[in-house]
């Protein structure tokens, strides 16, 4: 069915005399505009006696008013609502007004503030690059290390605007001209739609919270995402603020509208015909074969993301891409390009450099806090925040500390101090006060009545009962405790009962580190069904997203996870054999050589007594065999003295390379200040003393591996799953065979693009097979009739 779209222009479309007939048709709205702005809007637009129409703080309100009046005039002439609205930069505000998101007065106040903030910005400029496609522009920027240049507008396939410092633009001019482009410096006061507008974005984000928004009555395509706005007021506000520092994806916006059925039914409303000409240029070039849209959003754009019970239509010629895999709501919530996470690995193996590399690429990475002191964690947070721009995603790991719950709370206090808005909760067997405090402390009520969720928790789970705990509201007993301690407000306690503990679950199949040896194909659908049931029972406004981890090291594994319903994927083992991983070169050399069978299970040092398991590398080391022997001895004997002399000597000489007395002396030093009650317990309980001694082997093995201690190589504890073996086989014979050429962001892209290509190939095969069977059936039927 043929569909229509109304489009609204942005800055640059203004001209003296615009709207002359419109002000007389709508005197009431004109008067409202005069009252809000403090000057005559008609005089500015029609006469411009003081030459202010070209000044950003005057231009933007003027274009908004004229565009609104043009739209209202069009409706008054009998026109009906279109199927879609879109606007170029500033024009998006007119589109949102037309869709009923806010009234005229609110829209004008927002535009007035936006214009003032953008007009106050300085320190850079913009330039148009003509006759060079996107790939060519990216190539010039990368080749000549123009790292200070941002893409500001994708106006047409061969018409792009860049932004940045003036000296860098001047340097770039020659490079672009050498590449065959026409380079035109624009007469603007600042580098709009770039990272340099961050102060304006921050200020505008605060300002916009004063206003109430409605859900759009007609889908509005956003400049930031080139896809429809979600329904929630908080999402709309966040996207409008983000628009100030993000490129205007106009080409993709028109491709999107063309893909959903808008062909020649574009109607531009507002001053000039700039957009009409751009649309014709874009349509003439056609939609590239590799462009796709999110089916989920194409079905029901203003219902929000993650709607599971909507019948998906068959949409032809929509190739899957890396960008369309997974949940759109997830990508928007974390401000990332791909539904992909580089997960945390303890002791800073998921290093600050790894997190920064992911964040700069527009992806999400979590720093591995496990086993580190709070001072080291804080230093890493400060480093990451220095290296990343505002808005670039990152998160921190929060590890379950059953023996030291106070440390969990101290870690959360540190996260709150540094405004950490995303944590990956790992190895939790139950909901703890630290989790609830972090979650509830980030809750507030917006003027619209929506709950603002500042703190996001991605909970890694491998058991349904643990998933259930994270899917339910915070335990009342813990909430009451935090209330009595005045760590949360009564409002936060009340809001917390309307939300699950976790914003996202990540099911963890058999993986490196802590594992329950679950199978993804069994676990993921089970947790998705559990999620659906609990979210329905609790009547949550948003579905908890469910991602997948464990065994993902190839495009095939990633594709399988998405086919099973994963909203995102998380990788771990494959990332510790990269340039950015915080472990020794010796360990990376060893990991580079493993295959899928070169891992084994060993007791978890931090949960030794309860029998929890971790998966570790076994090739070239004795650690898994020795760790399992220690656990069996602890389980079967009540004290070290009961163990036979041969085993005692073996452990002291080969495992520890020192006596039990020397090992316990170090144990006493460690626990004397950290947990003296453990020493008191060991004094009265020889079995507990044995556990404390044996657990030292695990810590020593980890430290030796990270430091690359060649003399202790056979005792290395390297937590790793078979995904890395699969990855090694996949990249064998390529540049990535050598870990020195591996980078976490490039691995993310390679896996996601590979998964998309694989799914396209498989689906094409299915269609071809079905068509062949249908042809054969028709042929057989025809033969019978004869």
Please give the structure tokens belonging to residue 340: 């992909």
Is the CB of residue 580 less than 8 Å from the CB of residue 354?
A: yes
- The burial class, CB within 10 Å (0-12 / 13-18 / 19+), for 231 is middle
State how far the Cα of 470 lies from the Cα of 427, in Å rounded to an integer: 12
Please state, as a whole number, how many other Cβ atoms lie within 10 Å of the Cβ of residue 421: 16
| DSSP string covering 333-379 | HHT-SSSEEE---TTTTS-HHHHHHHHHHT-EEEE--TT--HHHHHH
Residue 613, beta-bridge partner list: 515, 603
Please give the structure tokens belonging to residue 719: 């937590």
Please give the structure tokens belonging to residue 191: 């580098």
State how far the Cα of 48 lies from the Cα of 43, in Å rounded to an integer: 6
Please state, as a whole number, how many other Cβ atoms lie within 10 Å of the Cβ of residue 311: 6
Q: Which of 119, 4, 100 is nearest to 61 (CA)?
A: 119
Please give the structure tokens belonging to residue 416: 């709150």
Please give the structure tokens belonging to residue 679: 């020493």
- The secondary element (H helix, E strand) that includes residue 452 is strand 451-453
Scanning 121-230, the segments in alpha helix (DSSP H) are 134-143, 166-178, 198-208
Q: Which of 67, 89, 344, 584 is catalytic?
A: 89
Q: Which of 553, 550, 598 is nearest to 575 (CA)?
A: 553
Please give the structure tokens belonging to residue 28: 């009431």
Please give the structure tokens belonging to residue 135: 């790939």
Please state, in angstroms and as integers, the Cα–Cα distance from residue 185 to each residue in 142, 613, 692, 786, following that order.
Answer: 21, 61, 69, 74
| DSSP string covering 771-783 | HHHHHHHHHHHHH
Is the CB of residue 396 less than 8 Å from the CB of residue 420?
A: yes
Please give the structure tokens belonging to residue 70: 């043009």
753 catalytically annotated? no
Please give the structure tokens belonging to residue 387: 């290296």
State how far the Cα of 156 lies from the Cα of 252, in Å rounded to an integer: 9
Q: Which of 193, 455, 688, 743 is catalytic?
A: 193
φ and ψ at 749, to 5 degrees? -65, -40
State how far the Cα of 99 lies from the Cα of 7, in Å rounded to an integer: 12
State how far the Cα of 100 lies from the Cα of 216, in Å rounded to an integer: 6
Is the CB of residue 464 less than 8 Å from the CB of residue 524?
A: no
Largest CA distance in the chain: 103
With both helix axes pointing from N to C terminus, report the angle between 676-684 and 686-707 in degrees, rounded to the nearest 10.
130
Please give the structure tokens belonging to residue 41: 């809007």
Residue carrying the six token digits 């400049």: 223
Please state, in angstroms and as integers, the Cα–Cα distance from residue 632 to each residue in 431, 629, 694, 701, following that order.
Answer: 30, 5, 11, 18
Residues whose CB falls within 8 Å of the CB of residue 51, separated by 6 or more in sequence, listed in order: none
222 catalytically annotated? no
First to last CA, the chain: 39
- List residues with catalytic annotation: 89, 193
């Amino acid at each position: 069915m043929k569909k229509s779209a109304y489009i609204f222009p942005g800055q640059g479309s203004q001209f003296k005399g615009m709207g002359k007939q419109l002000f007389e048709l709508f005197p009431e709205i004109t008067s409202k505009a005069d009252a809000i702005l403090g000057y005559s809007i008609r005089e500015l637009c029609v006469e411009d006696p003081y030459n202010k129409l070209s000044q950003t703080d005057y231009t933007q309100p003027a274009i908004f008013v004229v565009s609104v009046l043009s739209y209202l005039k069009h409706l008054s002439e009998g026109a009906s609502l279109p199927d879609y609205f879109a606007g170029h930069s500033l024009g998006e505000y007119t589109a949102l007004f037309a869709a009923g998101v806010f009234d005229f007065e609110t829209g004008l106040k927002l535009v007035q503030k936006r214009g003032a903030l953008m007009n106050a910005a300085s320190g850079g400029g913009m330039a148009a690059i003509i006759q060079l496609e996107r790939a060519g522009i990216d190539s010039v920027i990368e080749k000549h290390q123009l790292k200070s240049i941002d893409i500001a507008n994708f106006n047409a396939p061969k018409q792009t605007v860049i932004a940045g410092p003036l000296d860098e633009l001047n340097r770039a001019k020659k490079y672009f001209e050498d590449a065959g482009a026409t380079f035109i410096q624009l007469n603007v006061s600042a580098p709009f739609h770039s990272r340099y507008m961050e102060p304006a974005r921050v200020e505008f984000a605060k300002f916009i919270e004063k206003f109430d928004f409605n859900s759009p009555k007609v889908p509005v395509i956003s400049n930031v995402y080139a896809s429809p706005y979600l329904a929630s007021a908080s999402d709309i506000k966040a996207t409008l603020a983000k628009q100030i520092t993000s490129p205007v994806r106009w080409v993709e916006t028109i491709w999107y509208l063309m893909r959903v059925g808008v062909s020649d039914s574009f109607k531009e409303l507002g001053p000039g015909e700039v957009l009409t000409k751009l649309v014709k240029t874009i349509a003439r070039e056609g939609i590239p074969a590799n462009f796709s849209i999110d089916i989920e959003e194409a079905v029901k754009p203003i219902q929000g993301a993650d709607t599971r019970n909507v019948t998906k239509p068959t949409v032809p010629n929509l190739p899957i891409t890396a960008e369309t895999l997974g949940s759109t709501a997830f990508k928007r919530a974390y401000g990332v390009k791909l539904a992909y996470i580089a997960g945390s690995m303890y002791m800073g193996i998921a290093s600050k450099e790894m997190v920064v590399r992911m964040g700069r690429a527009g992806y999400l990475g979590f720093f591995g806090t496990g086993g580190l002191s709070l001072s080291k964690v804080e230093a890493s947070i400060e480093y990451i925040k220095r290296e990343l721009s505002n808005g670039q995603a990152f998160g921190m790991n929060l590890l379950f500390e059953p023996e030291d719950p106070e440390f969990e709370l101290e870690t959360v206090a540190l996260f709150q101090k540094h405004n950490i808005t995303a944590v990956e909760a790992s190895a939790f067997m139950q909901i703890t006060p630290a989790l609830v405090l972090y979650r509830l402390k980030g809750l507030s009520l917006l003027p619209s009545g929506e709950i603002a969720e500042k703190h996001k928790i991605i909970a890694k789970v491998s058991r349904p009962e643990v998933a259930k705990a994270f899917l339910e509201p915070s335990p009342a007993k813990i909430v009451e405790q935090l209330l009595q301690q005045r760590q949360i407000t009564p409002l936060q306690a009340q809001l917390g009962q309307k939300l699950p503990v976790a914003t996202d679950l990540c099911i963890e199949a058999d993986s490196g580190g802590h594992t329950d040896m679950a199978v993804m194909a069994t676990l993921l659908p089970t947790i998705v069904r559990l999620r659906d049931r609990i979210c329905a029972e609790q009547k949550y406004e948003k579905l908890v997203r469910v991602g997948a981890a464990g065994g993902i090291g190839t495009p095939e594994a990633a594709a399988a996870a998405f086919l099973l319903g994963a909203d995102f994927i998380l990788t771990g083992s494959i990332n510790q054999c990269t340039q950015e991983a915080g472990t020794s070169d010796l360990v990376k050399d060893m990991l580079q050589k493993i295959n899928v069978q070169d891992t084994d299970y060993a007791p978890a040092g931090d949960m030794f007594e309860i029998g929890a398991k971790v998966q570790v590398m076994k090739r070239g080391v004795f650690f898994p065999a020795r760790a399992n022997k220690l656990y069996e001895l602890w389980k079967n004997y009540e004290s070290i003295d009961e163990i036979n002399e041969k085993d005692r000597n073996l452990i002291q000489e080969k495992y520890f390379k020192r006596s039990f007395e020397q090992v316990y002396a170090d144990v006493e030093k460690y626990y004397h200040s950290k947990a003296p009650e453990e020493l008191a317990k060991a004094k009265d309980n020889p079995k507990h003393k044995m556990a404390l001694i044996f657990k030292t082997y695990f810590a020593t093995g980890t430290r030796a591996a990270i430091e690359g201690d060649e003399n202790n190589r056979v005792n290395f504890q390297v937590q790793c799953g078979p995904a890395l073996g699969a990855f090694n086989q996949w990249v064998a014979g390529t540049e990535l065979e050598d870990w020195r050429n591996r980078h976490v962001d490039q691995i993310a892209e390679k896996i996601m693009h590979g998964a998309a290509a694989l799914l396209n190939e498989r689906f094409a095969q299915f269609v071809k097979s079905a068509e062949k069977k249908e042809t054969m059936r028709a042929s057989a039927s025809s033969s019978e009739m004869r």
